């Protein structure tokens, strides 16, 4: 099950990862009120379970509460890759010095987790991975070992992340293991102008097979925003010939006019014993109360 960005941020904050203050709303008026509480200047972000929101126009900066209301009105109802935007998140903007990328994903081919990190995070991380794969570090993580302080330092060094990002890598590993996740991704993980390491955007996919021990997941399951395709209903073509249909119709009329059978102990025939000599053998066909309702084969 994929989580929305604001749900992923809640998990990050629970395990100590710093995230900007934010609120989630579903109307333009609520967006204005939330912007006032957050200081006026906010980033309005569409909440859909797909990537590419920024390039699709689903992430915009609003300079004041009035602009936040207008921006929310523009984004709500937008279609992004087949997903309808029904909620937006308003977050406090931060001064960004550098953007990074960090994630953990289950590598099913080898049965262990893979840490993927890069010093060049942001919207173009897929292009970076495709054109310059050496800029993206891929470090295997053994499940029984986990991400210790030494392992986190190894991942940070391989990806050329600042040393202060190593504790965040350990916290993200805790999100993965404690929440039974298959994917934990932060893009971008940023260093702010005042030296803090923050998760500005995140994605978490949890394993549905672990639902029995994650009771709060029921509270986290949102209404789907996937745009549903509704096929037109077609009239089913008849495969019955006209003569057979007439025979079936007339047989149904005859059957409906028959009186239903009634059974009583007095009317029941005495039990009969059948022998191999032929005496008492039942007739070839028992009499029926009304004509057969099945059409005659020709």
Helix (H, G, I), strand (E, B) or coil at 237: coil
Pick the catalytic residue from 4, 23, 99, 101: 101
120 dihedral zone (left: phi>0; alpha: psi -120 to 50; beta): beta
| Residue 185: active-site member | yes
Give CA–CA dist 3/207, Å, rounded.
11
CB atoms < 10 A from the CB of 8, how many? Answer: 26
Give CA–CA dist 255/111, Å, rounded.
66
Identify the CA nearest to 68 among candidates 47, 44, 84, 51.
44
Secondary element (H or E) of residue 7: helix 5-14
Helix (H, G, I), strand (E, B) or coil at 117: strand
Give CA–CA dist 75/88, Å, rounded.
8
| Contact status, residue 90 vs residue 42, Cβ threshold 8 Å | yes
DSSP state of 188: E
Secondary element (H or E) of residue 248: helix 242-257
Task: List beta partners, residue 61.
Answer: 43
Give CA–CA dist 244/238, Å, rounded.
12
Token pair, residue 220, equals 């986290």
Give CA–CA dist 183/8, Å, rounded.
11
Query: How far is the first Cα of the chain from the last one, in angstroms, to the nearest whole number?
Result: 57
| Residue 104: active-site member | no
Catalytic residues: 101, 185
């Amino acid at each position: 099950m994929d989580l929305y960005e604001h749900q992923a941020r809640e998990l990050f904050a629970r395990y100590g990862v710093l995230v900007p203050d934010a609120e989630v709303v579903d109307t333009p008026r609520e967006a204005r009120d939330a912007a006032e509480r957050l200081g006026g200047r906010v980033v309005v972000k569409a909440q859909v379970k797909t990537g590419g929101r920024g390039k699709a126009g689903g992430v915009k900066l609003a300079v004041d509460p009035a602009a936040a209301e207008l921006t929310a009105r523009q984004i709500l109802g937008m279609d992004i890759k087949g997903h309808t935007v029904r909620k937006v998140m308003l977050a406090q903007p931060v001064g960004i010095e550098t953007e990074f990328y960090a994630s953990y994903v289950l590598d099913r081919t080898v049965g262990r987790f893979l840490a993927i990190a890069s010093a060049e995070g942001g919207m173009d991380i897929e292009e970076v991975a495709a054109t310059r794969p050496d800029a993206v570090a891929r470090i295997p993580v053994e499940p029984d070992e986990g991400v210790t302080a030494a392992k986190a330092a190894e991942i940070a060094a391989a990806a050329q992340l600042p040393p202060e990002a190593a504790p965040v890598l350990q916290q993200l590993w805790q999100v993965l293991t404690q929440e039974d996740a298959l994917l934990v991704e932060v893009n971008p993980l940023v260093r702010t102008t005042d030296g803090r390491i923050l998760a500005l955007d995140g994605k978490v996919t949890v394993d549905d097979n672990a639902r029995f021990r994650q009771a709060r997941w029921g509270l986290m399951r949102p209404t789907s925003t996937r745009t549903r395709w509704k096929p037109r209903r077609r009239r089913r073509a008849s495969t019955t010939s006209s003569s057979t249909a007439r025979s079936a119709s007339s047989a149904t009329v005859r059957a409906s006019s028959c009186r239903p059978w009634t059974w009583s102990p007095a009317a029941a025939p005495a039990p009969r014993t059948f022998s191999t000599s032929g005496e008492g053998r039942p007739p070839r066909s028992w009499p029926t109360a009304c004509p057969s309702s099945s059409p005659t084969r020709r």
